[in-house]
Amino acid sequence: MDSPAALKMNGNAAAAPPFLRVCNVIKRFGKFLALKDVSLEVAKGEFVCFLGPSGCGKTTLLRAIAGLDPQDEGMIEIGGRDVSRLPPAARDFGIVFQSYALFPNLTVAANVGYGLVNRGTGRPTIDARVAELLALVGLGDQSAKYPAQLSGGQQQRVALARALATSPGLLLLDEPLSALDARVRIRLRDEIKALQRRLGVTTIMVTHDQDEALAMADRVVVMNQGVIEQIGSPADIYRTPKTAFVADFVGTMTFLDGEIAGPMSLRIGAMELACPEARRFQSGSSVRIGLRPEEIRVRNLDSATPNRFAARIAALNFHGAFCRAQLEPEAAPHIPIFADFSANLMRDLAVTQGQRLTIALPPESLRVFAKS
Amino acid sequence: MSVIATSPVTASAARVSREEWVARAGVLLLIAWLLLTLALPLWALLSKSFQNQNGEFVGLANYIRYFSTPTLFGSIFNSVWVAIATTAIVIPLAFGYAYALTRTRMPFKGLFYAAALLPLFAPSLLSAISLIYLFGNQGLLKWLLFGGSIYGAPGIVVAQVFYCFPHALIITVTALALADARLYEVAEALGTRNARVFRTVTLPGAKFGLINAAFVVFTLVVTDFGIAKVIGGQFNVLATDAYKQVVGQQNFEMGAVVGMVLLVPAVLAFAIDRVVQRRQVALLSARAVPYEPKRSPVRDALLLAYCCVLALILIGVLGTAIWASFITYWPYNLTLTLKNYDFANFDPGGWSPYFTSLEMALATAIVGTTIVFTGAYLVEKTKVLPAGRALAHLLAMLPMAVPGLVLGLGYVFFINAKGNPLGFLYATIAVLVINSVAHFYTVAHITALTALKQIDPEYESVSASLKVPFWRTFRRVTAPICMPAIIDIAIYMFVNALTTVSAVIFLYGPSSKLAAIAIVHMDEMGASAAAAAMASVIVATALGAKFLHILLERVVFMRLQAWRQR
């Protein structure tokens, strides 16, 4: 796990104090440790995704920040104010749940205005605010309908408008898109992101969908078994995963067992490969080597290309825009390597099953992880 | 984006602590209420059974005296075998009827179901009155008995079968309605004969329901007072013993012992029901496909005939009492008259017991529904005092295991205990209402919980994030959504408070005599036509309430709950 110091924002945001600070938070459910000493900071206006498999603690962390399931130990600070022991209503956030939790017996307008009604402002102010919010989410003409009369995507937007109605400093989204079908999900993904940019509201979204996290977040917090595995920009997380878990969970990766052969090389079976990352490990130690299937090269190879070897295509799986090939290196046929070949490449090289190919594994694309 | 500024932090923090405080106070009040109206009366009963007349602790002396008095001890045997006989008859009858309702394509299922539920709207002793009119000393069909007598055990069993039938039916229908069509399709695909499918798929699926129904019926019979009182004659059972000991001989200690004995089967049934329900859950997966019966003219015709016969008998028994209430002088002068409804001629109170009953049932429905639903909300939806809420739930489940007669006895001992500041409540309508709310608490509580559990659990979280106190969401969202369940609870409380005899027989006073008790008294005096008339008035009122309920659901909710429509 990273130390809290390593999790600080980089770049210009680091100068301003963080909007949200989570320090050494621990949460137990009976004997089960759901959050093991979790710390992170979120800058004002940032869009952060908590990403991880189910049961990794991402929703638990979100609910601790909201105060819905308070943490057992540790400190949470929102907007410079220690809210660790405050109940939800005393914290400053709006929340959207996976189920939306819209009140079915109230109209869309009444749902959106629900948190405004008991604030002592007059009817006209509330109505204006509700209209403003509904226009914001593109539902200006649906205000008199009941939630059951709306589509899933529309309900989701009503929930978003309701959460934003009180102008909270922090917007919490708990898997807001998982209940929608794929097409609507992708459209709403962009809409939410655009809205968040426009309003500049600090946002935390919980999701188990890596595409969603990579597409929407400024920074992704990858969690596993109650700890933060890595925090970083989507590109960071994808290109330089710090742990085998992150590498495996975000995107596709082939894992191979091998050992460090020298300061810049490693050995997989009978093959010796150049790899700059090898220097992080002691020579001779056994490691896991990760390789993204799209990194494997087959074109423009010459004798100077490093990590070049012959392989046989053992199987081909059609995926539409690309084909995933299972390759068997001739020097080590028992070690399968997966490679994604674009439709273009398939056509140009007329790739078929059983064919022999010369492939290259770019040294900088080889990720080396310690064996757990 | 900030048309309205967020409220100051300090104000909301203060309100939050108030919010938690309100929830805590609510939970504590609920526990206090349940302890006072349930636990303490039962404790009073328990301790009374270990005391002598002067209130001194005498250990098991009362129990030893009870079990060494054959006339008393024999009642256990009587009660048990009458209950076993009733169960053995009513369960197969109800199963056949339920099978017809759930697994055939016979017509008028709704009508047949409604007809079978009729006995629920009458006091239990109505069936006994009807039986006396048909097979009693002056019975129209007495010749069918070939010299036998309906009084005693045979009468009790037959009347109980009538009274328990709807209870057993509801449970078996629920059990049979839960069926996975896939299991039947697999059985069919494997070429299984119908009889084997019935034995290997249908029966095992309904097994838990049948066990549950059997125990419910057994308990109902053992603890019912009205039927044994009216048709039991010299045949002593536990329920009438308790009445005789307490009301007749003022022997409270022995009454308490009988009460404790009566508690045994009910607690047993309750425990078994718990176990059964826990195992039932795993039986039907979320992926199950509901079973749709296929066409089978012969089966449907046979079961239609079966249902016709049973429904006619059920309606006939109810109808006999109503008919008899209009008869001038049974069975010699069968001309119709209204004079039996002039209750002043039979009971000094005249019609006033009826209005007292109405008042009591209405108050029970209003007070009970309010307490039960609010209590269930506190238990299910708040997060304060976890141990306290668990205790409240446990207490709310307790009445299921406590027969009305036992609870009534407990109330007598509790209210009349020396130094109880609540003693002034004795014989008031208030105590009858409190007792009835406690008596019918569990079913109402479960209904409310079921409705609340179906609601999105995040409503309270959303309210908190919007800084809206929970009671506002309770009033504006939760209660309106649960309105159908709330009305269900109110009707259930009303009908049961109207028809119950057993719980209130010890508690009424001159100013709070209920219609159901007036029936017992008029029957005791031999004015059975007037008793039948009063019973008919109760049936009419209970059915009227039910029709009002249906009407309310059909008409009013269509408009009030427009949001349910897509």
CA contacts within 13 A on the Cβ side of B477: 25
Subunit contact A89:B467, Cβ cutoff 8 A: yes
pLDDT of B6 strictly over 50: no
Subunit contact A148:B566, Cβ cutoff 8 A: yes
| Chain A residue nearest residue B481, CA to CA | A105
In this complex, how many residue pairs, one in chain A and one in chain B, have their CB atoms less than 8 Å apart? Answer: 115
pLDDT of residue B283: 52
Split at pLDDT 50, 70, 90, the class of A178 is confident
Q: Which of B6, B19, B459 sits opposite A101 (nearest CB)?
A: B459
Subunit contact A148:B6, Cβ cutoff 8 A: no
Q: Look at strands A356-360 and A202-207 and give their pairing.
A: unpaired
Tracing tokens 């536990």 back to the chain, one arrives at B238
E strands in B172-245: none
Q: Quick one: average pLDDT of A42-54?
A: 95
pLDDT of B284 strictly over 70: no
Give the residue from A216, A205, A201 showing the smallest Cα distance to A165.
A201
Subunit contact A119:B7, Cβ cutoff 8 A: yes
Give the residue from A59, A51, A33 showing the smallest Cα distance to A245.
A51
pLDDT of B281 strictly over 60: no
pLDDT of B9 strictly over 50: no
Subunit contact B466:A146, Cβ cutoff 8 A: no
pLDDT of residue B14: 46
Judge whether A187 and B27 are in contact, CB under 8 Å. no
Burial class (CB in 10 A: 0-12, 13-18, 19+), A345: middle
Map A244-313 to HEC letters.
Answer: HHHHHHCCCCEEEEEEEEECCEEEECCEEEECHHHHHCCCCCEEEEEECHHHCECCCCCCCCCCEEEEEE
- Nearest-neighbour CA in chain A from B308: distance (Å): 42
Subunit contact A115:B468, Cβ cutoff 8 A: yes
Q: Which of A6-20, A42-56, A167-181, B255-269 has the lowest mean pLDDT?
A: A6-20
Q: Quick one: average pLDDT of B52-73?
A: 88
Q: Quick one: what percent of chain B has pLDDT higher than 70?
A: 94
Give which of A60, A86, A98, A103 to mutate to test B binding, by max B Cβ within 10 Å: A103
Q: In what order do the strands lie in the sheet with A227-232?
A: A93-96, A170-174, A202-207, A47-51, A219-224, A227-232
- Between B483-499 and B429-439, two packed helices, what is the crossing angle to 10 degrees? 120
Burial class (CB in 10 A: 0-12, 13-18, 19+), B278: exposed
DSSP state of B51: B
Give which of B382, B462, B476, B482 to mutate to test A binding, by max A Cβ within 10 Å: B462
* Length reported for chain B: 566
CA distance B534 to B532: 6
Q: In what order do the strands lie in the sheet with A20-29?
A: A32-42, A20-29, A73-78, A81-82
pLDDT of residue B289: 72
Two tokens, residue A170: 């922090």
pLDDT of residue B78: 94
Judge whether B77 and B240 are in contact, CB under 8 Å. no
pLDDT of residue B407: 93
| Chain A residue nearest residue B13, CA to CA | A90
Distances (CA, A) of B56 to A10, B29, B47, B49: 81, 32, 10, 11
- Chain B positions in Cβ-Cβ contact with residue A114 (cut-off 8 Å): 462-463, 466, 468
* CA dihedral angle for residue B138, residue B144, residue B148, residue B149, rounded to 10 degrees: -40
pLDDT of residue B566: 57
Helix (H) or strand (E) holding B201: none
pLDDT of residue B270: 79
Give which of A69, A114, A117 to mutate to test B binding, by max B Cβ within 10 Å: A114
pLDDT of residue B332: 86
Two tokens, residue A364: 């900088």
Q: In what order do the strands lie in the sheet with A337-342?
A: A337-342, A322-329, A308-318, A356-360
Subunit contact B461:A88, Cβ cutoff 8 A: yes
Subunit contact B6:A167, Cβ cutoff 8 A: yes
Q: What integer best gives the mean pLDDT of chain B? A: 88
| Chain A residue nearest residue B560, CA to CA | A105
Q: How many other CB atoms are there within 10 angstroms of residue A9's CB atom?
A: 18
DSSP state of B199: I
Give tens-digit pLDDT for A250-262: 988 889 999 999 8
pLDDT of B167 strictly over 90: yes
- Nearest-neighbour CA in chain A from B21: distance (Å): 13
CA distance A97 to A268: 47
Split at pLDDT 50, 70, 90, the class of B546 is very high
- Nearest-neighbour CA in chain B from A147: distance (Å): 8
Give tens-digit pLDDT for B134-143: 998 888 888 8
Split at pLDDT 50, 70, 90, the class of A12 is very low
Q: Quick one: average pLDDT of A283-311?
A: 91
Q: What integer best gives the mean pLDDT of chain A? A: 90
Give tens-digit pLDDT for B534-544: 999 999 999 99
Split at pLDDT 50, 70, 90, the class of B439 is very high
3-state secondary structure of B488: helix
pLDDT of B188 strictly over 80: yes
- Chain A positions in Cβ-Cβ contact with residue B458 (cut-off 8 Å): 97, 99, 101
DSSP secondary structure string for all residues of A88-147: GGGS-EEEE-TTTT--TTS-HHHHHTTTTGGGS--HHHHHHHHHHHHHHTT-TT-TTS-G
Give tens-digit pLDDT for B197-230: 888 888 888 888 888 899 889 989 998 999 999 9
Subunit contact A118:B468, Cβ cutoff 8 A: yes
Q: Which of A67, A149, A163 sits opposite B566 (nearest CB)?
A: A149
Give the residue from A221, A197, A238 showing the smallest Cα distance to A9.
A221
Judge whether B485 and B549 are in contact, CB under 8 Å. no
- Between B252-281 and B404-416, two packed helices, what is the crossing angle to 10 degrees? 130
Cis? peptide before B331, omega within 30° of 0: yes
Helix (H) or strand (E) holding B162: helix B153-177
pLDDT of A9 strictly over 80: no
Interface of B with A in 402-421 (CB under 8 A): none
Q: Which of B9, B462, B563 sits opposite A146 (nearest CB)?
A: B563
Long-range own/partner contacts, residues A346-350 (CB < 8 A, 24 or more apart)? A349/A298, A349/A299
Interface of B with A in 163-222 (CB under 8 A): none
CA distance B516 to B518: 5
- First-to-last alpha carbon distance for chain A, in angstroms, is 14
Report the amino acid identity of residue A327: L
Distances (CA, A) of B452 to B94, B132, B185, B459: 31, 45, 35, 11
| Chain B residue nearest residue A170, CA to CA | B465
Interface of B with A in 451-470 (CB under 8 A): 456, 458-459, 461-469
- Chain A positions in Cβ-Cβ contact with residue B13 (cut-off 8 Å): 86, 90
| Chain B residue nearest residue A122, CA to CA | B4
Q: Quick one: average pLDDT of A111-127?
A: 86
- Nearest-neighbour CA in chain A from B455: distance (Å): 9
Give tens-digit pLDDT for B516-535: 999 999 998 988 899 999 99
Q: Which of B16, B456, B566 sits opposite A89 (nearest CB)?
A: B16
Subunit contact A101:B464, Cβ cutoff 8 A: no
Subunit contact A167:B459, Cβ cutoff 8 A: no
- Chain B positions in Cβ-Cβ contact with residue A99 (cut-off 8 Å): 456, 458
- Nearest-neighbour CA in chain B from A236: distance (Å): 33
Give the residue from B93, B228, B240 showing the smallest Cα distance to B154.
B228
| Chain B residue nearest residue A171, CA to CA | B465
pLDDT of residue B11: 42
Q: Which of A68, A107, A116 sits opposite B4 (nearest CB)?
A: A116
- Chain B positions in Cβ-Cβ contact with residue A163 (cut-off 8 Å): 465
Instruction: Judge whether B384 is closer than 8 Å to chain A, CB to CB.
Output: no
Judge whether A321 and A280 are in contact, CB under 8 Å. no
* CA dihedral angle for residue B527, residue B532, residue B538, residue B540, rounded to 10 degrees: -140
Q: Residue A21 forms beta bridges with which residues? A: A41, A77
Interface of B with A in 3-62 (CB under 8 A): 3-7, 9, 12-13, 15-16, 19-20
Subunit contact B3:A164, Cβ cutoff 8 A: no
Q: Quick one: average pLDDT of A22-40?
A: 94
Considering the entire predicted model, what is its pTM? 0.85
pLDDT of B346 strictly over 80: yes
Backbone angles phi and psi of B113, in degrees to 5: -65, -45
- Nearest-neighbour CA in chain A from B453: distance (Å): 14
- Between B528-551 and B352-381, two packed helices, what is the crossing angle to 10 degrees? 40
Judge whether B382 and B479 are in contact, CB under 8 Å. no
CA distance A224 to A35: 10
CA distance B74 to B67: 9
Judge whether A235 and A204 are in contact, CB under 8 Å. no
Give tens-digit pLDDT for B306-330: 999 999 999 999 999 999 999 988 8
